[in-house]
Structure 1
């Protein structure tokens, strides 16, 4: 049978550390938990005693005592999407050096699933970063009860810190480029306009056509309800399978999954890019420069998007009453061979 002394030796408590350091229990608890005021001398004594005894901090107890979990929740649309992988890396680059652990959840672009993820995370984290699935917002997105930063997308009527890119301007520039190349029948392949970023890119596409005096034909807008390359392929096949005299000569794809689908459909239909079909993508990912021809793309600063979101959340955690900030990052059109 083990004795109390043996248990203390194998699993030292705060009281054991306090006794060894010659300080009060409260002082040892503050020093070990990283909260409250502790003199440098007392902290050094507690840390030395803790190291000698092999003390391991109880993070649950620390959270209860300090009111902080040192964790941040990140809810994204699809963890398989390279865009969100890079965004997450940017967020982690900012938060982890500050001692925060990142807890990642996947919404699958479903507002109901997003709401469940937020509900599960909100009791475990100090703050939330959310790429909302819909601009209308899920109920819990509207009032998560935690410091909140919206990432890549906004929510109508929600006063929250937000970092996005120039979606409409980037899409406009992409279509203007196609017009400059002589195209008059320019289509779009997109997911539904549930998210603010997609809605803004569709608006930029239509605005550019209108400014050029070109027809805005609903038949040239291929929309998929599925935010997947397969769904985009099916939508692109419908668009590109039209009779040649009415078929679009150029396509603007609103994100990397849509570009993937357009590429699959063009290959399946035997359309030569750019001779028979010009392609411009929104969002630049690795494979766009690995195919032949390389794909013209609107490049957004994805890593910086994540980093700026992390910085906004750190500011909100430090200053809960600070004025809401909305940051919009620029984009750049990189012209390659796919647009002729």
Structure 2
């Protein structure tokens, strides 16, 4: 087999067919259902594809199958490491099946969430994963299989909800700090759905122990929010001996606030985060954190979508992923 690869344009399915000595329709069959083609012809087509450097047209495949093999993922802050594990879990299931994930960031702003979702739907994604607070207009059915990842204040009609057991995770954080003898405990929280569940689980266990909970709540959960909330907490309650942050990024902001006041972790104040993100796992920071198993959330999200592709009529599911506490060097017993 020999041919000169076109230099002035991308090779087409017709170039592949000519080089392989088969029809364009058979090339298409090899691309979509290779098992239905004899070994000899399939190998000839694959050799031609390799020699020409041919890449199938996604647009053409979409027209032929009425599917784009794309999943829209809507997030609310690309800086949050939680989304990295979520995406990794999704792709672990979807990539081998030929699906790709299209990401849209809907950082706070007028109609940003709706606009981002509309943008994904306009690209004719086969399904939508919402990992952000949905707008009121999104609470109706989107017209494609939809899964909500993580706790949100609302879930669109007909959508699955797959999330971490953040109430249980908050309780784990409280149990850990109480077990270390802390009784002046502060909590840095956000206003999103996940933060609310973590806060509630933490508050419930703290109050059961008869300990006052000191809460510093901010609108967001960024490093800057963590710094500002920790500054407020330490100013109002300087005798605080432990801080539970709604995520590892907020915990990083708390470290900066403590350093600015000459306080050391954990000898002066223990700090525990949430998500068990790469920040927490770094050897330098080594943050005690609740692992919410967001990679498993991503895997379950992908499997849920595949199930809905097979049977769109199945009832909406609610799935909780159990967290695990990972103890590292930022928490210690309360000073006597």
Superposition TM-score, scaled by structure 1 size: 0.81
SS of structure 2 residue aligned to 1:339: coil
Written as runs of structure 1 = structure 2, the 5 A alignment for 1:178-257 is 178-192=177-191, 194=192, 196-216=193-213, 220-242=214-236, 244=238, 247-257=239-249
Per-residue CA deviations over 1:29-75 (Å, capped at 9, x if unaligned) read: 8626738x995359947973993895754322321231111111112
Q: 1:293 to 1:123 in 2, by over 3 A?
A: closer
Q: 1:292 to 1:319 in 2, by over 3 A?
A: same
Q: 1:197 to 1:321 in 2, by over 3 A?
A: same
Q: 1:213 to 1:110 in 2, by over 3 A?
A: farther
Contact 2:173 2:325 in 1 (8 A): yes
**More divergent stretch after superposition (148-157 vs 70-79):** 148-157
Contact 1:33 1:62 in 2 (8 A): no
Contact 1:119 1:140 in 2 (8 A): no
* Partner residue in 2 for 1:99: 98
Contact 2:258 2:264 in 1 (8 A): yes
* Partner residue in 1 for 2:75: 76
Provide the C-alpha distance between the structure 2 equivalents of 1:128 and 1:306, rounded to a whole number of angstroms.
13
Per-residue CA deviations over 1:204-250 (Å, capped at 9, x if unaligned) read: 1211122112234xxx2112223320121011101112364xx3221
SS of structure 2 residue aligned to 1:241: helix
CA-based RMSD of the aligned residues comes to: 3.4
Per-residue CA deviations over 1:297-330 (Å, capped at 9, x if unaligned) read: 2112122222221121122122212232222111
Per-residue CA deviations over 1:263-285 (Å, capped at 9, x if unaligned) read: 11111111122232121211213
Provide the C-alpha distance between the structure 1 equivalents of 2:252 and 2:97, rounded to a whole number of angstroms.
37
SS of structure 2 residue aligned to 1:89: helix
* Partner residue in 2 for 1:3: none
* Partner residue in 2 for 1:51: 48
Deviation (angstroms), 1:133: 2.5
Contact 1:236 1:265 in 2 (8 A): yes
Deviation (angstroms), 1:109: 5.1
* Partner residue in 2 for 1:119: 118
Contact 1:17 1:50 in 2 (8 A): no
* Partner residue in 2 for 1:176: 175
Per-residue CA deviations over 1:286-306 (Å, capped at 9, x if unaligned) read: 343546784322112122222
* Partner residue in 1 for 2:3: none
Deviation (angstroms), 1:77: 2.3
Q: 1:110 to 1:209 in 2, by over 3 A?
A: farther
SS of structure 2 residue aligned to 1:275: coil
Provide the C-alpha distance between the structure 1 equivalents of 2:44 and 2:115, rounded to a whole number of angstroms.
40
Q: 1:14 to 1:161 in 2, by over 3 A?
A: farther
Per-residue CA deviations over 1:1-54 (Å, capped at 9, x if unaligned) read: xxxxx9xx9865669949x9676x8x558626738x995359947973993895
Q: 1:56 to 1:131 in 2, by over 3 A?
A: closer
The number of equivalent residue pairs is 322
Provide the C-alpha distance between the structure 1 equivalents of 2:153 and 2:236, rounded to a whole number of angstroms.
36
Contact 1:154 1:162 in 2 (8 A): no
1:334 aligned to which of 301, 304, 326:
326
Provide the C-alpha distance between the structure 1 equivalents of 2:319 and 2:35, rounded to a whole number of angstroms.
38
* Partner residue in 2 for 1:321: 313
* Unaligned 5+ runs, structure 1: 1-5
